[in-house]
Amino acid sequence: MEKVRQNKYYSHFAGVIERTQLMVLAPAYVILCSAIIAGLVFLGVSLSWSSALLIVAAILLGVLLTIAGSFLYVIWNIQFRLQYDFDRIRNNVASGKIQSLGEFEKALCGFVTGFFHYSFFSVSACAIKIKDRPVYRHGDMDVTKPEEAEEKARKSPQLTIWRKEKSSTGKKITYLLPVWFGDEYLGFLLLESPNKLPRILKTLLQDFENNYIDDQLLHVINRQQR
């Protein structure tokens, strides 16, 4: 019971921090955007732009700044919430609730598809292969030739595009995320997304593997081998 109360307090405290940061960052970004738009208007007036051109330019700039703000919010929100939301898996590994690799596969893929659900960055399906184990799939993903994905994952720890597909429902891009702990190869994840990720989001996924997945997976592997 004490553990439940502690987790509730922890979640509440994280929410307070998140709301406080938003209360500071959101107005600051609005002020910055207003200053940029005002600067554009001042430039247009000095260059004798027509009123119609000024209005169109200001609207277009406002739209671009709104999209940029949304993208920045996604990046900030992922980095902030990840450290708290992933704690459930860490706690379950530490307490022994997650003991087998099968339990870890199910928990990790469920977390990935549930957490990464943003307009700029969503994961619709996930598959994981740990060492010599068979591939575990979560969601509607066709995993063909996993041995080729494993061969590529063993050669480089870097995130790469594994497959691109187009269908009547839209495009699908599958990313290959190798899992290494130091020099030890542990496995790989296949992450299916409708989004082509920019470099900053690819780096974020790579950091997710480095800072969250690899050590927890190694704990479970070592526990199962005892």
Q: Write down the pLDDT at residue 217.
A: 96
Q: Which of 11-15, 40-44, 54-58, 106-110 has the highest mean pLDDT?
A: 106-110
Q: Write down the pLDDT at residue 18.
A: 58
CB 69 within 8 A of CB 194: no
Residue that has been written with the tokens 């405290």 in this structure: 13
Confidence of residue 48 (pLDDT cuts 50, 70, 90): confident
Query: Higher pLDDT residue, 119 or 173?
Result: 173
Domain assignments of the chain as residue spans, ordered by start:
2-84, 100-225
Confidence of residue 5 (pLDDT cuts 50, 70, 90): very low
Ranges of H-type helices in 47-129: 51-85, 87-95, 101-115
Q: Which residues pair with 176 in a beta bridge?
A: 160, 190
* Residue 135 pLDDT greater than 90, yes or no: yes
Question: pLDDT of 95-115, one tens digit each?
Answer: 999 999 999 999 999 999 999
Provide Rg for the chain, Cα atoms.
22
* Burial label, 188 (beta-carbon count in 10 A; 0-12, 13-18, 19+): buried
pTM assigned to the model: 0.77
What is the edge-to-edge ordering of all strands in the sheet holding 136-138?
Answer: 136-138, 125-130, 184-193, 170-181, 160-167
Supply 120's token pair: 């700029």
Question: pLDDT of 70-88, one tens digit each?
Answer: 888 878 878 778 888 898 9
Secondary-structure class of domain 100-225 per CATH: alpha beta
Considering only 29-33, 121-125, 161-165, which range has the smallest mean pLDDT?
Answer: 29-33
- In single-letter form, the type of residue at position 47 comes to L
Distance CA 146, CA 148 (A): 5
* Residue 12 pLDDT greater than 60, yes or no: no
Distance CA 62, CA 124 (A): 31
